[in-house]
């Protein structure tokens, strides 16, 4: 009798969970159409500002008195960023994982990289990648000599990190300089010691001169990280969204404008905020998991087998790599150029942007989006696509 009551209670809980789940996952109401001026006002009031079009405006936002952005230092950082000599085996550069070409006019860096590696990418796009994504498009990061990330994490884009407050999936790093230094030394990344790096650089007359022109104390490990930092700060992208904010109403399609309205109204901007649309906070992921009932198998034939009503949360690696207290906590990814940075999430579990939007809607904001709403949001994301702005034509600072 007690068992019957127990399983009856489980069944009642399951039914109640189903009702709650259905209520929570009902299709979202359609957001009203806003005028261009109203939509622009909404975006700007939420801090979703445009990327600066000029070097001077960029400096106002990201320059740091402790490491000033001069053109000579930027040029040095660029050389270092693409130099495989900075890794232990002399085969890996920063650009190996954060892929784009040194010649900003060449959009084929990703295709070249894929052709050189044994990849698991089967999507048709693998043969047609002509973009600047700042990632390697692999599920898990691979460093020097093919060493995998110990936590099996996906590479995040380096583009637009000038506007980031937190770095790495854990958010434990607070500056590009610190992250550069960490990446150079990490065994699963560049795997080189400060002493070995300095020795290699000092053997180069080119670097000896470039460091002398940028730093009073010349070649040091810290100055290497500083030079890479100022270069990375110039790796920002502008898209049609930025032109829309600056007054060009034709820069975005009506579908994309509805997507922007959805993005703001559904609350996505709460985490994906500021110029980069992310990297400003550490958040729990997922916030919600619906109907968490797994395989309850009663002994009584009259009771049905209860299974989970909502689909599985699609991640085996659910965080916690910093300790139990930080389980499920991650830096919020940036959304600029997000359509070019698949696969998605910390472990690269989702390959398609439309599915990623659906996952976020269900597990972060508790909404079941219609196919039309998903398409609108993806259309908006495409307005965040953009090439790296070439600020090198600016006056010498």
Mean pLDDT of all residues in 134-151? 68
Same domain, 231 and 242: no
* Coil/strand/helix, residue 388: strand
| Boundary-marking domain end, from 177, 203, 235 | 235
**Residue 177 forms part of a structural domain:** yes
Same domain, 263 and 168: no
**Residue 353 forms part of a structural domain:** yes
- Asked whether 218 and 208 are in contact (CB, 8 A), the reply is yes
Number of domains in the chain: 2
pLDDT of residue 69: 97
C-alpha 157: how far from its chain's center? Answer: 5
* Coil/strand/helix, residue 237: strand
pLDDT of residue 137: 64
Nearest Cα to Cα of residue 257 among 377, 384, 374, 386: 377
Q: pLDDT digits over 60-72, tens only?
A: 999 999 999 999 9
Q: How would residue 159 be classed by pLDDT, with cut points 50, 70 and 90? A: very high
**Residue 392 forms part of a structural domain:** no
Same domain, 242 and 227: no
**Residue 58 forms part of a structural domain:** no
pLDDT of residue 52: 97
Same domain, 189 and 218: yes
Mean pLDDT of all residues in 338-364? 90
| Pairing state between β 387-388 and 237-238 | antiparallel
pLDDT of residue 83: 96
Q: How would residue 188 be classed by pLDDT, with cut points 50, 70 and 90? A: confident
Lowest mean pLDDT among 21-25, 89-93, 105-109: 21-25
Same domain, 116 and 40: no
Same domain, 244 and 231: no
pLDDT of residue 374: 97
Mean pLDDT of all residues in 271-286? 91
| Boundary-marking domain end, from 172, 202, 235 | 235
- Domain around 353: 2-51+238-387
Same domain, 215 and 300: no
Cα–Cα distance, 230 to 57 (Å, whole number): 15
Lowest mean pLDDT among 83-97, 252-266, 374-388: 83-97
Report the chain's mean pLDDT, rounded to a whole number: 80
344: DSSP letter = B
Q: pLDDT digits over 37-92, tens only?
A: 999 999 999 999 999 999 999 999 999 999 999 999 999 999 999 999 999 999 98
Number of Cα atoms under 13 Å in the Cβ half of residue 126: 17
pLDDT reading at 310 higher than 50:
no
Mean pLDDT of all residues in 17-46? 74
pLDDT reading at 192 higher than 70:
yes
Same domain, 272 and 171: no
CA 306 → CA 10, 17, 230, 293, distances in Å? 9, 12, 56, 7
**Residue 57 forms part of a structural domain:** no
Same domain, 34 and 76: no
pLDDT of residue 155: 86
- Asked whether 33 and 258 are in contact (CB, 8 A), the reply is yes
Q: How would residue 346 be classed by pLDDT, with cut points 50, 70 and 90? A: confident
Element (H, E) at 367: none
Q: 176-185 vs 194-202: helix axis angle to the nearest 10? A: 90
Same domain, 331 and 190: no
Lowest mean pLDDT among 21-30, 78-87, 256-265, 309-318: 309-318
CA 252 → CA 36, 58, 207, 237, 379, distances in Å? 10, 24, 44, 16, 9
How big is the CA angle at 311 (ends 335 and 126), to the nearest 5 degrees?
A: 45
**Residue 395 forms part of a structural domain:** no
CATH number of the domain at 116, please: 1.10.760.10
Q: How would residue 134 be classed by pLDDT, with cut points 50, 70 and 90? A: low
pLDDT reading at 22 higher than 70:
no
Same domain, 33 and 96: no
Element (H, E) at 205: helix 205-214
pTM greater than 0.85 (yes/no): no
Cα–Cα distance, 153 to 88 (Å, whole number): 21
Per DSSP (E only), the strands in the chain are: 237-238, 282-284, 329-331, 387-388
| Boundary-marking domain end, from 235, 261, 294 | 235
**Residue 393 forms part of a structural domain:** no
pLDDT reading at 211 higher than 80:
yes
pLDDT of residue 101: 74
Who contacts 90 (Cβ-Cβ below 8 Å, separation ≥6)?
A: 84
**Residue 201 forms part of a structural domain:** yes
Same domain, 291 and 336: yes
Mean pLDDT of all residues in 125-149? 62
């Amino acid at each position: 009798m007690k068992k019957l009551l127990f399983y009856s209670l489980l069944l009642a809980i399951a039914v109640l969970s189903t009702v709650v789940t259905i209520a929570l996952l009902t299709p979202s109401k359609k957001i009203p159409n806003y005028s261009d001026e109203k939509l622009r006002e909404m975006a700007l009031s939420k801090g979703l500002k445009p990327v600066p079009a000029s070097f001077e405006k960029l400096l106002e936002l990201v320059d740091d008195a402790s490491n000033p952005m001069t053109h000579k230092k930027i040029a040095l950082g660029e050389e270092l960023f693409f130099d495989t000599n900075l890794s232990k085996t002399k085969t890996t550069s920063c650009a190996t994982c954060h892929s784009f070409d040194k010649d900003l006019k060449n959009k084929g860096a990703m295709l070249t990289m894929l052709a050189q590696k044994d990849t698991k990418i089967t999507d048709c796009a693998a043969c047609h990648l002509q973009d600047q994504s700042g990632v390697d498009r692999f599920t898990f990061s691979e460093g020097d000599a093919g060493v995998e990330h110990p936590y099996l994490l996906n590479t995040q884009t380096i583009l637009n990190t000038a506007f980031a407050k937190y770095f790495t999936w854990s958010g434990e790093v607070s500056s590009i300089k610190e992250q550069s230094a960490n990446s150079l030394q990490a065994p699963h990344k560049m795997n080189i010691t400060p002493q070995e790096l300095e020795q290699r650089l000092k053997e180069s007359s080119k670097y000896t001169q470039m460091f002398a022109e940028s730093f009073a104390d010349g070649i040091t490990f810290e100055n290497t990280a500083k030079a890479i930092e100022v270069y990375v700060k110039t790796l920002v992208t502008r898209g049609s969204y930025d032109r829309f904010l600056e007054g060009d109403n034709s820069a975005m399609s009506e579908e994309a404008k509805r997507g922007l309205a959805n993005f703001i109204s559904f609350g996505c901007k709460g985490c994906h905020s500021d110029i980069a649309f992310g990297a400003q906070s550490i958040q729990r992921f997922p916030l919600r998991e619906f109907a968490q009932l797994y395989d309850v198998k009663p002994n009584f034939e009259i009771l049905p087998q209860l299974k989970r009503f909502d689909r599985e949360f699609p991640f085996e690696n659910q965080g916690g790599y910093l300790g139990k207290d930080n389980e499920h906590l991650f830096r919020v990814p940036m959304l600029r150029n997000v359509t070019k940075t698949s696969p998605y999430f910390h472990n690269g579990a989702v390959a398609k942007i439309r599915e990623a939007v659906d996952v976020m809607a269900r597990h972060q904001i508790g909404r079941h989006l219609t196919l039309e709403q998903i398409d609108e949001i993806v259309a908006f994301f495409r307005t965040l696509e953009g090439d790296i702005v070439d600020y090198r034509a600016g006056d010498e600072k």
